[in-house]
Amino acid sequence: MQIDAIDRKIIASLGEDARRSYADVGAQVALSAPAVKRRVDRLRAEGVITGFTAVIAPAALGGTTEAFVELFCAGRTSPAEIRRAALRHPEVVAAYTVSGDADAILHLRVSDISHLEEALEGLRAERFVNSTRSTIVLSMLMERPAALT
């Protein structure tokens, strides 16, 4: 899979606004709309672009409290098992295996502290979870969309 500088610019443009027209993207990268479409089709076929989505303000759906929860697991809990458990909890918006003391870190989005407590109780009830350590987000300073580096 070859990604050149023009592909990177197209990806960056669509990352900013996936609804941008091929003509608009083409104007930014000095290509015609059909040429941009061919490149986007190729990037999709190669799995570089995996989809298009709407970005929703979490507060609009009641997700005003966020936390990062470290999971400390029993024995040799597999990443697949952690993933299956994370998917069972709708409050988990992202899950990562990590190096260090914890086995995984989960990003939770909830309506309030009471909801966070309920979500934590649910996570702690998973048979392989020995303990958790939580960090509550006070404010988001910045967030970048996924980008090629």
CB of 14 closer than 8 Å to CB of 40: yes
Output the tens digit of pLDDT for each of the chain's 149 residues.
Answer: 789 999 999 999 998 899 999 999 999 999 999 999 999 999 999 999 999 888 778 888 888 899 999 999 999 999 999 999 999 999 999 999 999 999 999 999 999 999 999 999 999 999 999 999 999 999 999 987 665 55
CATH 1.10.8 fits 5-45, yes or no: no
pLDDT value at residue 148: 54
Could you please state the CATH topology (level 3) that the domain comprising 58-136 is classified under: Alpha-Beta Plaits (3.30.70)
Residue type, 10: I
pLDDT value at residue 39: 96
What is the length of the chain?
Answer: 149
pLDDT value at residue 146: 65
CB of 53 closer than 8 Å to CB of 8: no
pLDDT value at residue 21: 95
pLDDT value at residue 147: 59
Helix (H) or strand (E) holding 94: strand 92-97
Would you kindly state where each structural domain of the chain is located, as residue ranges? 5-45, 58-136
For residue 76, report the phi and psi dihedrals to the nearest 5 degrees. -105, 65
